[in-house]
Amino acid sequence: MRGPVGESFQTIAVEALGDNVETVVLDRPQAANALNTQMGRDLISYFESLSFEPDRARCVVLTGRGERAFCAGGDLKERDGMSTERWRAQHLVFERMARAILHCPTPVVAAVNGAAFGGGCEIAALCDFIYASERARFALTETSLGIIPGAGGTQTLARALGERRAKELIFTARIFSAREALEWGLVNEVHPHEALAGEALRAAKRVAAAAPIAVRQAKQAIARGLQMSISDGMAFEIEAYNRLVPTEDRVEGVRAFNEKRRPAFKGA
């Protein structure tokens, strides 16, 4: 389909929903939305475009097409018989895709509607937070295929779940439920399957209603701060804070509070 910035997407569907929210749907239902090379390229194009058009959307919901899967992981039919050189070339695409999602300045909410295995679990974990259907299942299956997670999984899961739980799940490649993912800290909320889309959209609209520059600065401060000592992280936080003081949105937020109305943030 034609994307919001003119790209022709073959494997994802993009829709502007109003209220400054866009949805991205992994759109290969005949293959359980498995990640092939073209999907990697489409996701790169979409998420990198948000870095160049920061005012286009204030929040993104990422989900999968159909009732069966969010994303079943790497497309093993495409990978069957790949030479070492072709495999490595494909994985360069997936590495850039992971970074495009992780470093996207716009907040990304994953709405995991079904199986999120291998690369699908990694894609979800790259998002800022996750809402899951009660039917969702997760797994990092790579060690059962002779590889390891290569789209951030060893890093994002260890940070979300802790070292020991991440090691257990990656070493054993076992499937775990949405409720387990919630209990362990990978998922933020679990909803009845039919309510998932609405709940994820509701959360995205709340994010989009906040001051967009403030949200982007908060996202950066959290992400960067986790790589620093707490003292350095607090110093980085103050730098991010000070960038907001001269903005029109800061003035509008205080004025709206005192006038007992909703603020009209412009992202300026």
Domains and CATH numbers, the chain: 12-209 (3.90.226.10), 212-258 (1.10.12.10)
Q: Which tokens sit at 143? A: 């060690």
With pLDDT > 90 as the criterion, what percentage of the chain qualifies?
89
Cβ contact 42:11 at 8 Å: yes
Q: Please give the sequence-ordered ranges of beta strands (E in DSSP) within the chain, or none if there are none.
A: 12-18, 21-26, 59-64, 69-71, 108-112, 115-117, 129-133, 137-139, 176-177, 189-191
Q: Which of 15, 142, 183, 237 is catalytic?
A: 142
**Cα atoms in the Cβ-side hemisphere of radius 13 Å centred on 48:** 12
Distance CA 183, CA 70 (A): 20
pLDDT in tens, 193-234: 999 999 999 999 999 999 999 999 999 999 999 999 999 999
Distance CA 117, CA 175 (A): 8
Q: 92 Cβ partners below 8 Å, 6+ apart? A: none
pLDDT reported for residue 2: 40
- pLDDT higher than 60, residue 136: yes
Distance CA 116, CA 43 (A): 17
Look up 142 and say whether it is catalytic. Answer: yes
- pLDDT higher than 70, residue 153: yes
Stated pTM of the model: 0.92
Look up 53 and say whether it is catalytic. Answer: no
pLDDT reported for residue 27: 97
Name the pLDDT band for 267 (thresholds 50, 70, 90): confident
Distance CA 241, CA 235 (A): 10
Alpha helices in 140-194 (DSSP H): 153-161, 163-172, 178-184
Q: 161 Cβ partners below 8 Å, 6+ apart? A: 169, 184, 185, 186
* Whole-number Cα distances in Å, 135 to 166, 221, 230, 231: 22, 33, 38, 41
Q: Which of 122, 189, 199, 259 is catalytic?
A: 122
| DSSP tag of 8 | B
